Amino acid sequence: MSESPAFDYSAFDKLLAPNGPVVLVGQQFLRPAAISSDDIVFPPSYATPSEKKDDQSVYNIDVLDPSDPSKNVCVLDSIPSQANRMEPLFGLPAYSPLVPQYSVKLLEGAPPVSILHVGHRLADAVFRGTQLREAIVEAFKSYARGNAVPMAAIGATSLVFGVWDSRGTGIKVPRLISSIVRAFNVIQLKRSAQYSPPIKYEQEGLLPPGLTGMPADHGLADVPSTHKIGGVQINGDIRRDCSLNLSVLRALKGENELQTERLQRYVLGLALIALTSTQESNLRQGCQLLPKGKSSWKQLFATGDESDWIPDSLRIAEFAAAAAVAFGVAQPPNQPLLFDKNLLKSSIDADAKKKADKKRATDVETLEDLRKLVNELEPVTGDKFSESKTSKLTKLRGIVASIQQNDGSTAELKAIADKLLPFLIAEAGAAERKATMLSLFLPSVPPQSAASSVEGTSEATLEPAE
């Protein structure tokens, strides 16, 4: 993008200031695209929780008052779905210069796939089969080390809408924008259908010889479909609720203050465009929603104070363009990227190896596993622990950190890990610290007299082992 005249950022820098609002929230009421407000709307359907093949799909409807099932809320468009609808905005001519337009060619004769149309963004498998994957991995690692600039330079929408490299580095980037569309007080309906062929193929002897399967499988017989989910009638409001988390945005950093300022302004510009642009009305067949008035906006502060936020008074598009220029957005050459299944295989194998190596290095599932590692610590000269890169202290520090961050670790294991951490230092007094750490694994037994101890012991436990 070419350099633009100086832009006055002051109105937007207030949103990024340490004492600025922590979140912008918006609310917009919607109505079905129909003459009558009680028109039937079709929410998204999901696989049945039973996961049985023949069970019907379901809607996401939650009852708010168990004593009155009519008081409920139904999701018409989920948070991930809303994000996937907003992101393609940055492929439109007005906004395409704001983000790098990467794309991948998967098949000959088929159009390339844009980075703005893949659900997992930079973590999507489509990029694992391209030469860009290596740069993406480094961007995730850089983000984890506290520098979000490389990720913004490749795909800033991953910072705006969130991304999780679950199959690779495992690094999560929280979304800045959250948006969801709900309907209140709905009545779920059923619908039925019947397919009838133009002639009775079987009765008229028109079935081909050697036909596999049932005639209905090939459209050669009647196919009834009865009492399937048939949309909802909405007796309450339809509402889109959205927010922009400015606290998370302010946590994005570069290598220095100037990089951080340019990064935060750039990402804020993208987020404000996504948040305030006119949203797609056609969510799916049978669910087209239109605004029922203007959106209302508030800015909320950490003190609990709040005030109106008026986006119409701001030059958001100009701000986003100026911030993108200052950040240094560059369009990638040689697009589209070519998809190579051999590169994909190499990426999958490399990630699998890293996960296996990490599991072996941190294969601590029980308190006894952790106690053994503590017991292996041995003081060296000066009654200290060695903290070389290959030392047992360094390994144990990494394992404790992994336990603290691992959602799969038990609460008991995490509690011990938290207690161990202050003792995992290399200073003098290592032997005493080791003894203290081992004592943490001893069971906590309430004090009691010897008599009460014997009285409370069953006969079975006093029997000698055979």
Q: Is residue 1 part of a domain?
A: no
The answer to which of 36-50, 93-107, 128-142, 303-317 has the lowest mean pLDDT is 36-50
Please state, as a whole number, how many other Cβ atoms lie within 10 Å of the Cβ of residue 351: 17
What pLDDT does residue 369 have? 85
User: pLDDT by residue (tens digit) across 213-265?
Assistant: 999 999 999 999 888 999 999 999 999 999 999 999 999 999 999 999 999 99
Across the strands, what pairs with 287? Answer: 284
What is the chain's Cα-based Rg? 30
Residue-averaged pLDDT of the chain: 89
What does the alpha-carbon distance between residue 84 and residue 407 come to, in Å, rounded to a whole number?
A: 27
Q: Is residue 116 part of a domain?
A: yes
**Confidence (pTM):** 0.75
Q: Does 333 reside within a domain?
A: no
Shared-domain flag, residues 69 and 200: no
Mean pLDDT on 159-176:
93
Q: Assess whether 80 and 203 both reside in one domain.
A: no
Rounded to an integer, the average pLDDT of 22-44 is 93
C-alpha triplet 166, 115, 149: angle, nearest 5°: 70
**Number of domains within the chain:** 3
Ramachandran region of residue 206, left (φ > 0), alpha (ψ -120 to 50) or beta?
alpha
**Same-domain status, 171 and 240:** yes
Q: In this structure, is residue 339 part of a structural domain?
A: no
Q: Exposure pattern of 157-176 as b/e (b: 16+ CB <10 Å)?
A: bbbbbbbbbebbbebebebb
Domain assignment of residue 346, yes or no:
no
Residue-number span of the structural domain to which 214 is assigned: 190-229
Answer whether residue 357 shows pLDDT above 90. Answer: no
Q: Is residue 132 part of a domain?
A: yes
3-state SS class at 301: coil
Q: Is the pLDDT of residue 179 over 50?
A: yes
Pair (273, 410) in one structural domain: no
Predicted local confidence at residue 2, as pLDDT = 47
Mean pLDDT of 143-158: 96
> Does the pLDDT of residue 361 top 70, yes or no?
no
Q: Taken in order 332, 334, 335, 337, is the CA torsion positive or negative? A: negative
- Please report the pLDDT score of residue 140 as a whole number: 95
Give 242: exposed, middle or buried? Use CB within 10 Å, 0-12, 13-18, 19+.
Answer: buried
Q: Which of 272, 303, 327 is the last residue of a domain?
A: 327
Query: Given pLDDT bands bounded at 50, 70 and 90, which one contains residue 349?
Result: confident
Task: Decide if 32 contacts 289 (C-beta within 8 A).
Answer: yes
Q: Report how far residue 424's alpha carbon sits from residue 437's, in angstroms, rounded to the nearest whole number.
A: 9
pLDDT at 51 over 80: no
Q: Is there a single domain that holds both residue 77 and residue 132?
A: yes
Q: What is the pLDDT of residues 393-418, one digit of tens each?
A: 988 888 888 888 776 678 888 889 89
Mean pLDDT of 16-42: 94
Asked whether residue 342 is domain-assigned, the answer is no
Which range is least confidently modeled, 87-91, 259-263, 341-345? 341-345
Is the model more confident about 278 or about 350?
A: 278
Q: What is the pLDDT of residue 356?
A: 65
